Structure 1
Amino acid sequence: MSPSPQAASSAILERDGRFLLIRRMNPPSADLYAFPGGRAEPGETPEQTALREFFEETGIEARNPVLFATYDLNGDKDDDRHFFLSVFRVEADVGTEAIAADDAADSGWYSIEEIRTLPVPPSVLECAEMLAAIRDAG
């Protein structure tokens, strides 16, 4: 029986058709590129978690989180962790530069074409594809 899921949030910041991704240093998803995010702290709302984690991993003060997608992520046979992930779109000042910190080994801005070639969790590719489709339909 899997344990009850832990709450986690991530945040999508898009600029000029490129998405801010970090390369994760620690499990889960170590060495994968992902939207900045992580586990909720006691008493935090999903929105608060997304903004805090985004700041901790990029140094950017994001704002106006809008829920975009949710995922029930069950670990694989080697990892029994279970997360309920809330993915938010966020805004930030255009001039702010990302500085990889906390759990982030590296950060960068990637187009949907680049994301398709990177090692990313399935949820990241799915969200990026959905946003690109929305933008292209636009």
Structure 2
Amino acid sequence: MRVNCVGAIIFDAFGRLLLVQRGHAPGLGLWSVPGGRLEPGESDEAGLRREVLEETGLRVAVGRLAGTVHRPGPGGVTYVIRDYLATVSGGTAAAGDDAAALRWCDRSDLARLPLTEGLLDCLTEWGALPHA
């Protein structure tokens, strides 16, 4: 079974990437871009805006698709995750929903933090690494 998911690649004015620390499985305690499962009938854009608002308190404008990954899940599920570039359009950054914490990260942070499997490789391949 395939489960459609979306993720947001968001940079601040300093070129830092927004990451959230997962508060629940899968990936409990690991850092990743904000996002999650689409609800039935929900578009990628609507789902991305909803997930980012729930997890970070930020409203975003959704940009182009950066890339797609497939990740195995429990019980034979495959998560199909489409990651989009997004720009903050409002709100106040604060961890919420299933995010235990959030932070703006530079390249050195990515090397130190426990990231979700494959995240760094995907960001590198897609040319979506923080500037600094």
Scaled by the length of structure 2, the TM-score of the pair is: 0.87
Task: Decide whether the 8 Å contact of 1:65 with 1:90 is kept in 2.
Answer: yes
| Aligned equivalent of 1:18 | 16
Give the counterpart of 1:72 among 70, 73, 79.
70
More strand per residue: 1 or 2? 2
Identity of aligned residues (%): 30
Other structure's SS at 1:26 match: coil
Q: Residue by residue, what CA displacement relative to the aligned partner does 1:85-109 show, whole Å, maximum 9, x if unpaired?
A: 000100113x753110000111110
Structure 1 residue runs of 4 or more that deviate by more than 2 Å after TM superposition = 126-130
SS at 2:128 equivalent: helix
Alignment check: 8 A CA contact 2:62 2:84 kept: no
Amino acid at match of 1:21: L
User: CA offsets, 1:58-85, max 9 Å, x none?
Assistant: 110101332111011113xxx3332000
1:13-52 superposed Cα distances (whole Å, 9 cap, x missing partner): 1121211111111111111111110100010112221111
Tell me the residue number matched to 1:62.
60
Aligned-residue Cα RMSD (Å) equals: 1.9
Letter in 2 for 1:68: A
Larger Rg over CA atoms: 1
User: Do structure 1's residue 88 and structure 2's residue 84 form an aligned pair?
Assistant: yes
Aligned to 2:111: 116
Gaps of 5+ in 2: none
CA distance in structure 2 between the aligned counterparts of 1:123 and 1:45, rounded to whole angstroms: 25
